[in-house]
Amino acid sequence: MKLKSDIIKDILIPASVLLASVLIWQLAAYFSSADVTPFITIGAMVGILGEAEFWVSFAFTVLRALVAFACSFILALVLSILASWYDLIRRIAAPIVTALRSVPTMAVVLIFILTVSPSATTVLVGVLVLFPTFYSALLPAATGVNKDLKEIALVCGANRLQRLRYVYLPIMAPAIAENGISGFSLAIKLIVSAEVLSQTAKSIGMMMQTAKAYLDIERLLALTMIVVIVCIFIDAVGKSVFAYLEKKMM
Amino acid sequence: MKKLSMIIVIALLGFCLFGCQGGNDPEVVEIYVPDGAPALALVSVFDKTEIGGKQVKFTVVPTDTIGPALLSEMPDLAIAPTNAIANVFNKGKDYRYVSSHTHGNLFIVGKEKLSDLSELKGNTLGVIQQGNVPDLIIQTLLTDSGIKFGTDSSDDMVTLRYFQDGANVIAGLKSGALSFGLLGEPAVTNALAIEGMTEVFDLQKLWGGDGYPQAGLAAKSSVSDEFIKALFDAVTEAGDFASAHPDEAVSRIAAHMREGSESTVKKLTADTVKRCNIKLIKAEDCKEDVLKMLQAFFDINPSSLGGAMPSDDFFRIVK
């Protein structure tokens, strides 16, 4: 009974949603003058996957996303823990994070592109958008650590580093894992958008921009689908790894 | 009952999705013109609501939407980059090349005077409209001169750095991030207002002859020869309107911008308009120049023309 329910929930429903989306896409292509059907797009995707230029661009885009993700995540984690320890840090960080969250992404691109390289611009844009998101998600997890546990650790003579390692990080682990999983696919999306705006060489964003310039809609859609599939894959792998680790710890 | 209601709602949403494609009024000839210098090609007749006995509607659209508009076959006629017209023609869209209207308005500006393109080596050149005429023209000129170029930095090549528009190139020149910038009029005039900025190369002179057929008029087969002839006559009769009345030209462009968009053309002078190199040349007279330019673009990147040189019936000769 449980297996049947799992099959329906985890396979049949997502498969039905995917099938319905493909059908709507096919109908839209049929009725519009764009004429880019799912099958044409899949063909274009296969073609792109055979190009050396794609893999070089893909590698650089993923690298930029990794750098932006790592920098913003580590910074957010450290700052959220410090903010939970020291009220002054929390008060100083609050307006800065709010301001960063409010800055329009396009404005950031336009400002940075004049002073740093297009590649660095995309990473900076990624950090500026991801850092406030991670900080806002990790701060409640850091401040939510049970007061009694902190006191027990103090009584047992644990120093700050030991309290961080044996108390804070294990309790924050679910929030860290959840934000880490969703954060990396968000980073890829952000980096690709920033690459289009800043016309970064050797990037998926630039490949999309070129496809648009050459009115190659099949190629543009195919590149978009590749990015979507990569993000879904990262999400799925991350969730599976997290579920496995969670089971192991119990 | 609940399931039936859900199905009806989804079906209605579906009809809205497919039915939302606005159709043109078949009685009105829709003419699209991209913002910027190409808009000057027909600005002299923007005030007309009727040409050749047919109602006309001129719409100025943001530059980067003219290609997609042609792909969607929205306008009956459109001024568009020549390579974009060839591209959509090769994709089987019902547009053919009727006339060329702008013949090059591209210049390289910088703070240093140079005498030869090879002196750009080791420098970064900001380029607008990656994949379109400005990019393809500079790539052709550099290739023909045997000068290496690319997006990497090196002393033995010209580094091409792409920007969305002229404003970003100008900002880069101002801040010193760029040594040189490739711009089109009227942005060039704005750039030359920066202290120390000078015109380094006139790409039209480097190309040779009277320049290159940068933008042309594409027409659907449903548009009659009589209408096209009447349009040509109206444009010729209006003469050098933009040069004689630059402020009026700016107002007309702003007034005909597509709803929700704003023109980037804020100010013009007679001299700027002259440097936009606007003149109407019918297809039969510019065919050779168009093919020469398209061949050069095809040699740089076949995708710029949709993968092939256009066939002979690309040109529509209107006597």
Residue pLDDT, tens place only, A190-247: 999 999 988 898 999 999 999 999 999 999 999 999 999 999 898 888 888 888 877 7
Provide the CATH number for the domain around residue B202: 3.40.190.10
Phi-psi region of B92 (alpha: psi -120 to 50; beta: other; left: phi over 0): left
Q: Give the residue-averaged pLDDT of B52-72.
A: 94
**Cβ of A214 and B168 within 8 Å?**
no
Domain boundary among B207, B240, B257: B207
B185 & B116 share domain = yes
Q: Give the residue-averaged pLDDT of B26-44.
A: 93
B40 & B115 share domain = no
**Cβ of A213 and B130 within 8 Å?**
yes
- In terms of Cβ atoms closer than 10 Å to its own Cβ (0-12, 13-18, 19+), residue B273 is buried
User: Is residue B16, in this structure, part of any structural domain at all?
Assistant: no
The parent domain of residue B200 ranges over: 106-207
B125 & B148 share domain = yes
Q: Which of B21, B164, B171 sits opposite A114 (nearest CB)?
A: B171
User: Is residue B113, in this structure, part of any structural domain at all?
Assistant: yes
Q: Give the residue-averaged pLDDT of A75-91.
A: 93
B92 & B120 share domain = no
Mutual orientation of helices B283-300 and B82-90 as an angle, nearest 10°?
80
Residue of A nearest to B124 (CA): A117
B143 & B201 share domain = yes
Please tell me the distance from the alpha carbon of residue B298 to that of residue A126, in angstroms, as a whole number.
37
* DSSP helix/strand/coil, A33: coil
User: Is residue B237, in this structure, part of any structural domain at all?
Assistant: yes
Say what the pLDDT of residue B23 is: 56
Please tell me the distance from the alpha carbon of residue A22 to that of residue A39, in angstroms, as a whole number.
10
Please tell me the distance from the alpha carbon of residue A194 to that of residue A179, in angstroms, as a whole number.
21
Which residues of chain B have a CB within 8 Å of the CB of A217?
71
B99 & B116 share domain = no
Q: Best mutation site among A193, A214, A223 for testing chain B: the one with the most B CBs within 10 Å?
A: A214
Q: Which of B73, B87, B162 sits opposite A33 (nearest CB)?
A: B73
ipTM attached to this prediction: 0.81
Residue of B nearest to A196 (CA): B164
Residue carrying structure tokens 């107002």: B251
B293 & B232 share domain = yes
Please tell me the distance from the alpha carbon of residue B16 to that of residue B313, in angstroms, as a whole number.
38
User: Is residue B319, in this structure, part of any structural domain at all?
Assistant: no
**Cβ of A215 and B21 within 8 Å?**
no
Candidates A19, A39, A20; CA nearest to A29 is: A39
Check whether B303 has a pLDDT greater than 50.
Answer: yes
Q: How many domains does chain B have?
A: 2
CB B286 within 8 A of CB B279: no
Check whether B113 has a pLDDT greater than 90.
Answer: yes
Please tell me the distance from the alpha carbon of residue B74 to that of residue B140, in angstroms, as a whole number.
31
**Cβ of A209 and B175 within 8 Å?**
no
CA of B140 vs chain A CAs: smallest distance (Å):
17
**Predicted confidence band at B8 (pLDDT cuts at 50, 70, 90)?**
low
B243 & B304 share domain = yes
**pTM value > 0.90:** no
B99 & B112 share domain = no
Say what the pLDDT of residue B21 is: 47
Q: Give the residue-averaged pLDDT of B60-69.
A: 93
Which residues of chain B have a CB within 8 Å of the CB of A44?
none
B186 prior amide bond cis, ω within 30: yes
Residue of A nearest to B74 (CA): A33
User: Is residue B143, in this structure, part of any structural domain at all?
Assistant: yes
For chain B, list residues whose CB is within 8 angstroms of any CB belonging to chain A: 14, 17-18, 21, 64, 67-68, 70-73, 84, 87-88, 91, 129-132, 151-152, 161-164, 168, 171-172, 175, 177, 301, 303-304, 306
Pairing assessment for the beta strands B106-110 and B198-202 based on DSSP bridges: antiparallel
User: Is residue B67, in this structure, part of any structural domain at all?
Assistant: yes
B128 & B257 share domain = no
**Cβ of A210 and B130 within 8 Å?**
yes
B113 & B252 share domain = no
**Cβ of A213 and B129 within 8 Å?**
yes
Check whether B3 has a pLDDT greater than 70.
Answer: no
Which residues of chain B have a CB within 8 Å of the CB of A209?
130-131
User: Is residue B36, in this structure, part of any structural domain at all?
Assistant: yes
Which residues of chain A have a CB within 8 Å of the CB of B73?
33
Domain boundary among B171, B191, B207: B207
Check whether A4 has a pLDDT greater than 80.
Answer: no
Residue of A nearest to B150 (CA): A201
User: Is residue B1, in this structure, part of any structural domain at all?
Assistant: no
**Cβ of B71 and A215 within 8 Å?**
yes
Candidates B306, B297, B319, B303; CA nearest to B137 is: B297
Candidates B178, B41, B196, B204; CA nearest to B112 is: B196
Check whether B13 has a pLDDT greater than 70.
Answer: no
B292 & B149 share domain = no
Residue of B nearest to A202 (CA): B151
- In terms of Cβ atoms closer than 10 Å to its own Cβ (0-12, 13-18, 19+), residue B264 is middle
Say what the pLDDT of residue B125 is: 96
Residue of B nearest to A199 (CA): B162
**Cβ of A199 and B130 within 8 Å?**
yes
